Amino acid sequence: MNFLRAVQIFTDLNDPDLLRIEGMGERKKYSEGSVILREGDPGTAMFFLMTGKVKVVGTDDEGGEVILAIFGAGDFFGEMAILDGHTRSATVVTLMDSELFILNQKDVLQLLREYPAIALSLLKEFAVRLRKANTQIKGLSLKDAAVKVAGVIQRLAEESGFFTKGGVEITELPAQQDMAGLAGTSRETISRILQMFVEQGYIALQGKTLFINDYQKFKNMYF
């Protein structure tokens, strides 16, 4: 039940309600690189990340991979196809070993009818994701590779960074290929731009951890 408390749309529910929801679904473990659902599949379930991390990917006009989002523990996905009755709009792949809680379509719709607080929280999450999508679309339309990469770093900072004394620490930085998917560019470009940011003193890299030395200065330079 504790993992459900971390899910934004369930935060207003009490213990009995959370226990009831836990009893409706099932838990399933996926190894790294597993495809949880594919674009075009029917939408029969909604997924909640208990542990691990996944990427949501689509394809561009040339058949290349474009990463639409990266989700971690406490996040959810698969709700769109349940609500509109259409097929899946994207593919979801695990970035590491992950455990998910799965609710079928019938139970999700029942919960939305019975708990207005869940429906309202879901609408708020839709608004947040729409804003992020708009920001990503604007970034993809820019020709300057540095701005694209800076936009990805800013997005990661605001979604999962730790803010301290004007700087930001991003742990578990996505692989450069995945960052390339987010930026709509190549892995080689990601590597080149990251190195440029390091040389300019904007960021520091240590393994999978990225430090933004002065977050406000970084934002002012590229946005």
Q: Based on the domain organization, do 134 and 156 belong to the same domain?
A: no
Q: Based on the domain organization, do 123 and 213 belong to the same domain?
A: no
Would you say the pTM of this structure is higher than 0.75? no
pLDDT band at 1 (very low <50, low <70, confident <90, very high): low
State the residue range of the domain holding 13.
2-139
Q: Based on the domain organization, do 127 and 148 belong to the same domain?
A: no
What one-character DSSP code corresponds to residue 10?
Answer: G
Q: Which helix (H) or strand (E) holds 1?
A: none
Q: Based on the domain organization, do 74 and 100 belong to the same domain?
A: yes
Q: Based on the domain organization, do 18 and 32 belong to the same domain?
A: yes
pLDDT band at 49 (very low <50, low <70, confident <90, very high): very high
Q: Which helix (H) or strand (E) holds 69?
A: strand 65-72
In this structure, the strands spanning 98-104 and 162-164 are unpaired
Q: Based on the domain organization, do 56 and 43 belong to the same domain?
A: yes
pLDDT in tens, 70-120: 899 989 998 888 888 788 888 999 999 999 999 999 999 999 999 888 988
Crossing angle of helices 176-183 and 187-200, in 10° steps, is 100
Q: How many domains does the chain have?
A: 2
pLDDT in tens, 161-208: 899 888 999 988 999 999 988 888 888 889 999 999 998 889 999 988
Domain harbouring 40, CATH code: 2.60.120.10
Q: Based on the domain organization, do 87 and 153 belong to the same domain?
A: no
Domain harbouring 154, CATH code: 1.10.10.10
